[in-house]
Amino acid sequence: MANIKLFGTTDSFDIKNGDILYNALDDQGLKLPHGCLSGSCGACSIEVIQGSQNLTPPSAIEADTISAVRQERGFQGKEIRLSCRARVNGDIVIKKLS
Ligand code: FES
């Protein structure tokens, strides 16, 4: 079991270990922007505030997309992940990007 907390809110919920973050949020009615759902567009990006070690490591494709998102949207220095690719294996605190 893993807990997801939305930074700056009281929203928090438990999911099964190994769930894809995007799907877990969608199951809770939290719709993130999305496009490809395969790690190449960056639309589903979120910021990880705590617990990044509890997400599966990014693949090479995800890492390339994260790099592009950081540069294009000015998110240098932030822990960015693609919610459609990251699997959750422990507690995390995340923040939606605008
Ligand atoms: S929806 Fe395209 S990278 Fe996640």
Query: What is the phi-psi region of residue 38: left when phi exceeds 0, alpha when psi lies from -120 to 50, beta otherwise?
Result: alpha
2, 89 contact by CB (below 8 A) = yes
For residue 97, what pLDDT is reported? 84
84 lines ligand 1 (CB under 6 A): yes
pLDDT digits (tens, 9 = 90+) for 18-57: 999 999 999 999 999 999 999 999 999 999 999 999 999 9
Nearest CA to 55 among 95, 19, 88? 88
* Cα 37 to middle of ligand 1, angstroms: 4
Identify the band that residue 98 occupies on the pLDDT scale cut at 50, 70 and 90: low
- Pocket mutation for ligand 1, best pick of 44, 46, 72 (most atoms within 8 Å of C-beta): 44
This prediction has a pTM of: 0.94
